Amino acid sequence: RKEVEQDPGPFNVPEGATVAFNCTYSNSASQSFFWYRQDCRKEPKLLMSVYSSGNEDGRFTAQLNRASQYISLLIRDSKLSDSATYLCVVNPGNTGKLIFGQGTTLQVKP
């Protein structure tokens, strides 16, 4: 079993749609969680950290369920510029290492 699992997609949605991505992680002791965005042939960029209480940043909402070891990302009112690969990332401990999911590809179409 992979340490961080995501549905690779692709998710093809029209502009304005709401789309949700899910991610599960295997290490129950994991301490911090992130969503990163990666554009084609570029480095990952932090989209948002994920907190137990859930957090929102504009059109983006992240949720964490520690009991189920599950993380989600909700994107509302999708824009063409949201097209990218979204990486679920987990820090399993104090070493600073990050474990990346395979990524979920989103394609927003006009």
Partner 1 sequence: GAVVSQHPSRVICKSGTSVKIECRSLDFQATTMFWYRQFPKQSLMLMATSNEGSKATYEQGVEKDKFLINHASLTLSTLTVTSAHPEDSSFYICSARWDPYYGYTFGSGTRLTVV
Is the separation of the CB atoms in 55 and 48 below 8 Å?
A: yes
Compute how many residues bind partner 1; rule: CB under 8 A. Answer: 21
Pick 13 or 100: Cβ nearer partner 1: 100
Site string for partner 1, 52-91 (x = CB under 8 A): -----------------------------------x-x--
Q: Footprint of partner 1 on residues 2-31 (CB under 8 A)?
A: none
User: Which candidate, 64, 83, 67, places its Cα nearest to that of 23?
Assistant: 64
Q: Which range, of 21-29, 63-71, 73-81, 93-101, touches partner 1 by CB under 8 A? A: 93-101
Q: Which of 10, 46, 70, 79 contacts partner 1 by CB under 8 A?
A: 46
Work out how close the CB of 103 gets to partner 1 at its nearest, in angstroms, rounded to a whole number: 6
Helix, strand, or coil (residue 69): coil
Q: What is the DSSP string of 8-44?
A: ---EEEETT--EEEEEEES-TT--EEEEEEE-TTS-E
Strands 84-91 and 99-100 turn out to be: antiparallel
Longest CA pairwise span in the chain (Å): 43
Contact residues toward partner 1 (CB under 8 A) are: 32, 34, 36, 41-46, 49, 87, 89, 95-103
